[in-house]
Structure 1
Amino acid sequence: MPKKLVLIGGGHSHALVLRLLGNKPLSGVRLALITPDIYTPYSGMLPGHIAGFYSYSQCHIDLQSLSNFAHAQLCLDHVIGLDLNNKKVLCANQPAVDFDILSIDIGSTPSKLSVPGAAEYTIAAKPVAQFLEHWYKLQENAVKNPQKSLNIAIVGGGAGGVELALSMVAGLRKSEVHLFQSSQELMPSHHQLVRRIMRDILINKDVKLHLGERVCEVVELINKRLAIKCESGLMVTCDYAFWVTQASAASWLKAAGIGTDDQGFILVNDYLQSVTHPHIFAAGDIAKMINYELPKAGVFAVRQGKPLYENLRRMISGASLKPYKPQTTYLSLIGTGDGRALANRGNLTLPPHQLWWCWKDLIDRNFMEQFPHQ
């Protein structure tokens, strides 16, 4: 009987696993990918897409072509749960999928359940497919009403919120962008010089910064506009509000009984293997390594692709697994929405320049070139 390897989610790690499986197929294995979308976004190029530098196809991986290349069955569906006793993946619209070995790479979504009105009236940055639907409609409205200036609120001043603000300023001709951050510092997980440079750029581009402001409610007004209310009493009205706060995990994971941390992220060891279920692996944002403190960054999802493939291959063949050791410092190239990028690695920070954008563009295009196109 062939072993059944099932991948849930089309994230960066799984895209790389599928490419490697296509290059070097495993014998005696039935492979399936379960994901809600045919196209999966590459996070490194999404801000550039919002700013107008890349088309949709340039920043999305075609999972149908990739599955064909890897001889994998593609199941387009939402996963709603796991039956771990019977080794089944429960789907929203089709029969359960059996597995012997399971790998999960579904990313994360911004958490907004604790703020009244946020779930109803704001647009989450993830899942990206839904976010882009709203973004394209917003762009259409801007084209239809060229004289009208749009007021946009972005809640969350981490790297994602800052890049989104700069990309939207570039992608919309007439707009006023408000960026809310609960702490006094933007991008708190980044180097101090990076934070200072990015703050100055935002101010120079007329982004209205609301630092130390914790959003406590989002209200829809009579004219369909929104009011963003803060604990301090500050209230800002806007046409659209985007939510780019701390990451949260899919609720069905914890309900399934797999070992997770308090936030619901899958606890994995150095082999990217569940600490409670050895036949289950996880990578990318949804995984929480117990021996390393990793930020939710695409660079780690990309780096985990090959070690994940190696350990899935070894698990199938019965060989001993190999540990993955994440890098302690990594190159961060942050686009500023204007054809420049800031470069940072550890304590070294280079201010925004066209050269760093060209470097980032080359890295991103080379990454996308690995995958088959229709």
Structure 2
Amino acid sequence: MPSHDSGRPGEILLVGGGHSHVIVLRELGLRPLAGARLTIVSIAARTPYSGMLPGYVAGHYDFDQVHIDLLRLAAFAGARFVADEVIGIDRGARLAHCRSGRSLPWDLLSINVGSTPRIDLGGTGAAHVVPVKPISGFNQRWLALLQRARLLAAAGSAAAQPLTIAVVGGGAAGVELLLAMQYRLQQEFATLRADPERLRWHLLTRDADILPTHSRTVRQQFRRVLAARGVQLHLAAAVDDAGAGWLQWQGTNGAGRLAADEVVWVTRASGAPWLRDSGLAVDDDGFLCVGETLQVADEAHIFAAGDCASMIDHPREKAGVFAVRMGRPLAGNLRRAVAGGKLIHFRPQRRWLALISTGDRCAVASRGTFLAAGRWVWHWKDWIDRRFMRLFADLPGGSA
């Protein structure tokens, strides 16, 4: 098999099972890659689709409906699957070092590991909040919270204390997740004929308004939704510490403190620490700097896509739409790199359709000044999400 010693890539290593890499596996399965061996390393064999996570939390989808089977997908692509986590690379030796102690060789390396939460809290504060990423860890805490709420509802009037849940982060992910959790827990309370007023909800953001990257009309729409749902909004509130059952913040209106049974952290993220330690070019947030070919700056043999990548000439916010749309160009460039061909350029769109659900099988669609809202928007979003997931269920030779 060719190797970097002979000048031809022989080992292609995909690090992470993110949205870009699942597209790469599907593309290389449909058109097998000759002359190279493909390996994917991921800590989880089931990778979640972030677009359907709020729907899963709200109870509209089950676990299997929002997760892609990486083992099956890797087999379809003729790839070796390694259940492990990369924690560093040796660029000179072209080795990826894993948490288990093993090292994996590569001639072409592609990184699609998403982002990690940036929790800037004093002391042991980070231990008392629930980061939404990694999603597998959040899911465990969410299921525990769901059970806790059920017990509270079943206890009826015997449980004197309400359940207070705070979400830190006023971007689309934070707003959408809070509304999904609220809907699901209120449904659980209704089933047990418990008073939903015993659930208290708070949304905190360091920004002057929620959804700062969206239009004024979108922000107004969601402020109305949050107010109607009884969510207490704390604007310009930078959370700086948390403990068992509480959090505190500093803001333009002074300091504040809140008793909270659960604090979910959905704020601005950063790159995995090992990316910064690798010596590769990263931006101020620790994300890999990539060009239009999706190659890491000054590294012809290393590619990156999805949230862990920051395009040098096309800065964009972190959104799943870009990770998905990077998939095919990335697959094509890996194929061209093996063949020694000229790589293609990917330029992300400047404007894109945002579909933000409100938990209750309704959603808001926006693009620039365009805005639409209602149940039909949620069904449209549901159709788009299910169509994406069918790409990995309806594989040739497989069953849906």
TM-score by length of 1: 0.96
CA shift at 1:115, angstroms? 4.1
Whether 1:11 aligns to 2:30 is no
Which residue identity is paired with 2:151? K
Aligned to 1:279: 301
Aligned to 2:377: 356
Aligned to 2:391: 370
Gaps of 5+ in 2: 3-9, 187-195
Whether 1:178 aligns to 2:202 is yes
Kindly report which structure 2 residues correspond to 1:231-250, keeping only aligned pairs within 5 A, or say none. 231=250, 232-250=254-272
CA shift at 1:329, angstroms? 1.0
**Closer, same or farther: CA 193–236 of 1 in aligned 2, 3 Å:** same
Whether 1:70 aligns to 2:77 is yes
Give me the whole-angstrom Cα distance separating, in 2, the residues matched to 1:166 and 1:23.
39
Cα shift readout 1:77-118 (whole Å, capped 9, x = no counterpart):
111100111000000114200000000000002200444443
Give me the whole-angstrom Cα distance separating, in 2, the residues matched to 1:290 and 1:114.
30
Q: Equivalent of 1:217, from 238, 241, 245?
A: 241
Aligned to 1:223: none
CA contact (8 A) 1:11 1:284 kept: yes
Give me the whole-angstrom Cα distance separating, in 2, the residues matched to 1:368 and 1:14.
14
Which secondary structure does the structure 2 equivalent of 1:93 belong to? coil
CA shift at 1:262, angstroms? 1.6
CA contact (8 A) 1:107 1:286 kept: yes
Which residue identity is paired with 1:228? L
Q: Equivalent of 1:187, from 189, 198, 211?
A: 211
CA contact (8 A) 1:259 1:266 kept: yes
Gaps of 5+ in 1: 221-225
Which residue identity is paired with 1:356? V
State the number of aligned residues. Answer: 368
Aligned to 2:112: 105
Aligned to 1:254: 276
Kindly report which structure 2 residues correspond to 1:285-300, keeping only aligned pairs within 5 A, or say none. 285-300=307-322
Q: Equivalent of 1:122, from 129, 148, 162?
A: 129
Which residue identity is paired with 1:18? L
Q: Equivalent of 2:27, from 1, 20, 32?
A: 20
Q: Which 10-residue stretch deviates more, 147-156 or 186-195?
A: 147-156
CA shift at 1:184, angstroms? 1.7
Give me the whole-angstrom Cα distance separating, in 2, the residues matched to 1:361 and 1:115.
40
Give me the whole-angstrom Cα distance separating, in 1, the residues matched to 2:142 and 2:276.
31
Give me the whole-angstrom Cα distance separating, in 2, the residues matched to 1:170 and 1:335.
11
Which residue identity is paired with 2:13? V
Which residue identity is paired with 2:377? W
**Closer, same or farther: CA 10–154 of 1 in aligned 2, 3 Å:** same
Which residue identity is paired with 2:232? K
Cα shift readout 1:222-263 (whole Å, capped 9, x = no counterpart):
xxxx11111222111011101111111111111111111121
Kindly report which structure 2 residues correspond to 1:35-184, keeping only aligned pairs within 5 A, or say none. 35-146=42-153, 147=156, 148=159, 149-173=162-186, 174=196, 175-184=199-208
Cα shift readout 1:37-77 (whole Å, capped 9, x = no counterpart):
01111011000001110001001111011111111111111
Which secondary structure does the structure 2 equivalent of 1:32 belong to? strand
Cα shift readout 1:154-192 (whole Å, capped 9, x = no counterpart):
111111110011001101124211110112200101111
CA shift at 1:276, angstroms? 2.2
Which residue identity is paired with 1:353? G
Give me the whole-angstrom Cα distance separating, in 1, the residues matched to 2:116 and 2:167.
15
CA shift at 1:295, angstroms? 0.8
Whether 1:334 aligns to 2:374 is no
Give me the whole-angstrom Cα distance separating, in 2, the residues matched to 1:198 and 1:342.
9
| 4+ aligned runs moved over 2 Å, structure 1 | 113-118
CA contact (8 A) 1:115 1:215 kept: no
Which secondary structure does the structure 2 equivalent of 1:371 belong to? helix
Aligned to 1:230: 249
Give me the whole-angstrom Cα distance separating, in 2, the residues matched to 1:115 and 1:16.
40
Give me the whole-angstrom Cα distance separating, in 2, the residues matched to 1:241 and 1:172.
15
CA RMSD of aligned residues (A): 1.2
CA shift at 1:199, angstroms? 1.1
Which secondary structure does the structure 2 equivalent of 1:281 belong to? strand
TM-score by length of 2: 0.90
CA contact (8 A) 1:116 1:216 kept: no
Cα shift readout 1:204-233 (whole Å, capped 9, x = no counterpart):
00111111111121022xxxxx11111222
Give me the whole-angstrom Cα distance separating, in 2, the residues matched to 1:187 and 1:118.
25
CA contact (8 A) 1:77 1:94 kept: no
